[in-house]
Amino acid sequence: MKYISVLVFALALSACSSTTSGISIESSNQNVVIGNSSLAGQIEIEKAIVAETNGLMKAGVPVTSKVDSDMKLQYRFYWYDAQGLEVYGSDTPWRQFVLHGRDSVTLQAVARKPEAKQYRIYIREADY
């Protein structure tokens, strides 16, 4: 847990992503990419839980609020094959959720295709 927090802080100082203005986590190595340092300081991401259900990859990413106020957020999963190529038609729509102050939630998704062997999840502040 400390490792991920340190990684989040280090990446907050050096990384930037213009595509989501949020946070991206890769399943293959638990890399966290920060595009929004403010959001990175408000949530903590724990080690993901990965399983298989009926031949499809299932991922669960625990997220914990580090602030007292509620946050309106969105998340989206992208799925990749064993070679790291995006599986066509496997991306999910943005899903909205509220992360209450000092609360935890596990963001979950199941791949739509059996070729999916890795995933990336994006988390960002909601636009609404």
Q: Where are the domains of the chain?
A: 2-125
Task: Indicate whether 121 pLDDT > 80.
Answer: yes
Residues of 92-118 as b/e, b for ≥16 C-beta within 10 angstroms? beeeeeebeeeeebebbbbbbeebbbb
pLDDT bin (cut points 50, 70, 90) of residue 20 is low
Tokens representing 86 are 């995006």
pLDDT at 12 over 50: no
The pLDDT-based confidence of 34 (bands split at 50, 70, 90) is confident
For position 77, what pLDDT does the model report? Answer: 92
The CATH architecture to which 2-125 belongs is Sandwich (2.60)
Q: Convert 17-46 to b/e letters by CB count within 10 Å (16 or more is b).
A: beebebbbbbbeeeebbbbbbebbebbbbe
